[in-house]
Structure 1
Amino acid sequence: MRIFLKKYFLDETKIRQKILEESVLIASILKWTFFAVIIGSVVGLATGIFLYLLELTTKFVTGFNYYYLALPLMILLSAVIVKKISPESEGHGTEKVIEAVHKKSGDIPIKVVPVKLFTSIITTAFGGSVGKEGPCAQIGAGIASFFAQLLRFSPTDRKKLVICGISAGFASVFGTPIAGALFGVEVLFIGQIMYEVLYPSFIAGVIGYHTCSLFGITYFRHPINIVPKFTQLFLLKVIFFAILIGLVAFIFIETLKLMHSVFRKIPFVKGAILGGLIVVFIALVTSKHYLGLGLDSIASAINGEKLPPLAFLWKTILTAITLSSGGSGGIVTPIFFVGAASGNLFARIFGFDIGTFSAIGMIALFAACTNAPISASVLAIEMFGAKIGVYASVCSIVAFTIVGYRSVYPSQILGISKSSSFRASINKEIKDIESPLFEARKNTLVGIIYWLFYKITCIFK
């Protein structure tokens, strides 16, 4: 008995070690609670100001007929400001933050905040096909980085604080605190979650959301109650639907890449004007509903109304051109539009409930394009209620797999291989990964399919 007590309870060195361990962990919780509350409050305030100014500007601008004819000039103004003052503000926001976290330990110049705020407002208000989450994530990350530099944080702690800024920005702009917290820790790596930042990200997301709500921001909520009874056959239909959404994500990302490569070859002044003119022309020929955020069309789709069959394609093209030619803004809202429009189309083709599958399509496309299926699953529950959760989660995971090794955030680092049949370079940025090599394995379904495909092609040769 004495030996037992001495070994486990009376050894002073071990007792000190245990006390020290718990003391450090408690101090860490208190430290990150304090800083997460500060960042959440400040970012929620900044997001509220951004959303208020965006709404105010949009109402004023859209009061004029043919306001969108000024879009080429606004894209040019946005491109010039970004190029001359803050190149870090280029693109759709979140991508630049991910790049800064991986390559600069979250070091983001504070000038990003006003530049991103102004350029995103003029691009969106005048009809640019962009979103509002990217500016909020980048503004949040920029504010967090400034605080970290002011308090002389270590590179590791600065990175953590910047991730809190991302979470607070995402949670504030969409009114989804839990999904926002998860998005900040999931979006940096494909297939990995930064658990060490989960707690402060959660606190920052919750505080940011409640702070932003003080501005009277109205968040999109639409409880889905028409959910079919679960059967094995219906589950198979859902999986097939998710595969189609994954292919839409493939089209969306590849279109984005194509437009970036095209406009990179054009001088930025000519490219900005040309891009704006093309966007305006397509909108005049098709529909002006594809301009701006497109929130009314998203709401219509989820309410069960029918959208034009090619709505998802036109929105994809306009978003890619707007961002590639120098427009500033986010990319998640266009993803929501394209996902809802795709779900709307496929639901009508296969006889599903239009509203339910428009909502699922919106969530699944977000999961695929951002490689964030866990955040997407929680986002579905926060936006549409728990009843849709199972189907939204299944679709998110399937679409995430189908989209393969590509992303709207090229600086994401690949943490897993999505299939053991492909040899992919782990721990590299997704933009640096070429087409993964296929390795046919013996005695597997994929290997058998590959063998049959090879034999068939040999016959026709």
Structure 2
Amino acid sequence: MQRKIIEQVTLLVSVIKWTCYASIVGVLVGFGTAAFLRTLSWTSVQFARIPDYYLLLPLTLVVCSILVSWLAPEAAGHGTEKVIEAVHQRMGKIPLMVVPVKLVATVITLAGGGSAGKEGPCAQIGAGLASAFGGLLRLEGVDRRKLVICGISAGFATVFGTPIAGALFGVEVLVLGHMFYDVLFPSFVAGIIGFHVASQLGVNYPHMSAKIIPLMTSWSFMEMIMLGIWCGLIALIFIELMQLVQRLFTRLPWPPFTKALLGGGLLVVIGKGVSTRYLGLGLDSIEAALNGTVLPVGAPFMKAIATAITLGCGGSGGVVTPIFFIGTAAGNLFAYLFNEPLVATFSAIGMVALLAGAANTPIAASVMAMELFGAGIAPHAAVACMVSFLIVGYRSIYPSQVLGMQKSTSLKVSTGRTLGEFDHAEIDHRGTSFLGVVAKGMKRARGRRGTKES
């Protein structure tokens, strides 16, 4: 009896402790996010007053590149990737200098017309503030890491106005196939508190319901499976394109500012020769698609190219907002190709399905669909998100994500490594599945080709 009482008291103390810690983190992240979004809004207005301001992209990206490389190299790229790396490799230790540098560098990149997102900086700012708070309290490594995960969750919750999905994203994105249930409660607390603090500070979250949601019939069920496959394939293309462009810029034997000049010049060509809709956040195009407007056929691919160039050449910013654009455009294109009248609905589901595939977060993406578009979209979005998640396989927009599960019983893989280290040639294809047959056929073809060459 005494043991049970001690156990219950210990659990109660733990709940109170993490409620306090997570609430403080939520308040810090709420203020940080509000400051970032207000700064971004003001700076974007100033840049917009300049005619054809995107022509200054080479200069703005050079400034961003120099700022990051000199003051805080950890602030490079799309933010969330560095935070995941810190959680897995450094027990959540993040230099406090990352917070102001990431804020300024991202504002410069986005306001100048760079194609990136605003969620990565909020996640990195939130994680940096949480890490500093943990250091101030002299917490042990495990507890500090929990606080940092709460900071990630609060960052996503406050930037998109989705407190539940944001909290889930923070605990789901770290390991493919596993969730940190011991951090789930404080992540919810941090996300909800951060959302309310940011709202009270004037941050607006324009949520809208999908225009028309079809009944879940046998045909609509098949359509969601096909849409999930479609979004998974486009997510795979985006992931590979991001890695390819990053490798190409890395191999250039030039200083960072020269690479930024080249990337900025390429973005100017896209803006001048194709369309400026693929520069910046692209929120106007996302809103248009969610209202039923048909976007250009090449929209998802042009946005992917612009984002890969921006982040590959030295720009700073997130990657989820571009994923929203690409997913919305992918669902929009799917509806156009199949002559579907429900363009807005397919665009909305495409938005979250591509996030589920690219980031390997099907649960968070499904919940986000409900928070953004209403509960009626849940069954359709969940099916598309899960299919997209499976189609992408063992790839991710975040290479530091750790592999924690096998997506198919026909594939034998070793878990515990980051997806960036994962060699896809090591997959052992088992059984008589389609993938197994293809793998065996390719192996035989290579063997015959080697025999002929010898």
TM-score range normalised by the length of the shorter chain: over 0.9
- Shift, 1:293, TM fit: 0.3
Deviation at 1:225, TM superposition (A): 4.5
**What corresponds to 1:394 in structure 2?**
383
Q: Distance in 1 between matches of 2:181 and 2:445?
A: 48
Residue 290 of structure 1 corresponds to 278
Between Structure 1 and Structure 2, how many residues are aligned? 447
1:321 aligns with one of 309, 329, 335? 309
Which amino acid is the alignment partner of residue 377 of structure 2? I
The reply to whether residue 211 of structure 1 matches residue 211 of structure 2 is no
CA distance in 2, matches of 1:453, 1:427: 27
Q: What's 2:9 paired with?
A: 23
> Is 1:127–2:116 an aligned residue pair?
no
Query: Within 5 Å, which residues of 2 pair with 1:28-427?
Result: 28-266=14-252, 267=254, 268-352=256-340, 353-427=342-416
Counterpart CA distance in 1 for 2:72 and 2:436 is: 50
Identical columns (%): 50
Q: Name the SS of the counterpart of 1:180 in structure 2.
A: helix
**Residue pair 2:115, 2:280 contacting (<8 A) in 1 also:** yes
Based on CA coordinates, which of the two structures has the bigger radius of gyration?
1
Using the TM superposition, name which of 199-208 and 258-267 deviates more.
258-267
Question: Aligned partners of 1:286 and 1:444: how far apart in 2?
Answer: 43
CA deviation after TM superposition for structure 1 residue 249, in Å: 0.3
In structure 2, what is the Cα distance between the partners aligned to 1:274 and 1:457? 39
What's the offset of the Cα at 1:66?
Answer: 1.2
User: 2: distance between equivalents of 1:292 and 1:376?
Assistant: 23
CA contact (8 A) 1:422 1:436 kept: no
Q: 1:155 to 1:360 in 2, by over 3 A?
A: same
Is the contact made by 1:168 and 1:208 (CA closer than 8 Å) also made in structure 2?
Answer: yes
Structure 2 residues not aligned, in runs of 5+: none
The more displaced of 413-422 and 129-138 is: 413-422
Does the 8 Å CA contact 1:416/1:426 hold for their aligned counterparts? yes
Asked if the contact 2:216/2:379 (under 8 Å) is kept, the reply is no
CA distance in 2, matches of 1:308, 1:362: 16
Q: Give TM-score, length-normalised by structure 1.
A: 0.93
Change (3 A) 1:457 1:71: closer
1:423 Cα deviation after fit? 2.5
Shift of 1:351: 2.2
Q: How far did 1:455 drift?
A: 9.9
Give the C-alpha shift of residue 234 in structure 1. 2.0
SS of residue matched to 1:420: coil
**5+ residue gaps in structure 1?**
1-14
**SS of residue in 2 equivalent to 1:432:** coil
Taking the aligned partners of 2:353 and 2:210, their CA distance within structure 1 comes to: 16
TM-score in terms of structure 2 length: 0.95
CA 1:326–1:444 in structure 2 vs 1: closer, same or farther (change >3 Å)? closer
**Distance of 1:259 and 1:340 partners within structure 2:** 23
Contact 1:187 1:412 survives alignment (8 Å): yes
Q: Secondary structure at the match of 1:408?
A: coil
Deviations along 1:394-449, one digit per CA (max 9) or x if unpaired, are: 11110011011111110000000111222222010000001154545445565567
Q: Distance in 1 between matches of 2:79 and 2:438?
A: 41
Per-residue CA deviation, residues 149-205 of structure 1 (Å, 9 max, x unaligned), is 011000000000000101111000000000011011111000000000000000000
Partners of 2:263 and 2:215 in 1: CA distance? 47
Question: 2:434 and 2:258 mapped to 1: Cα distance?
Answer: 51
Amino acid of the structure 2 residue aligned with 1:282: I
In structure 2, distance between residues paired with 1:123 and 1:450: 43
| CA–CA separation in structure 2 for the residues paired with 1:438 and 1:38 | 44
**Per the alignment, do residues 88 and 161 of structure 1 end up closer, same or farther by CA in structure 2, a change over 3 Å counting?**
same
- Paired with 1:284 and 1:329, the residues of 2 have a C-alpha distance of 22
Structure 1 counterpart SS, 2:420:
helix
Tell me if structure 1 keeps the 8 A contact 2:410–2:433: no
CA distance in structure 1 between the aligned counterparts of 2:155 and 2:431, rounded to whole angstroms: 48
Q: 1:150 to 1:447 in 2, by over 3 A?
A: closer
Q: List per-residue Cα deviations over 1:310-333 (Å, max 9, x = no partner).
A: 011110000000001000010000
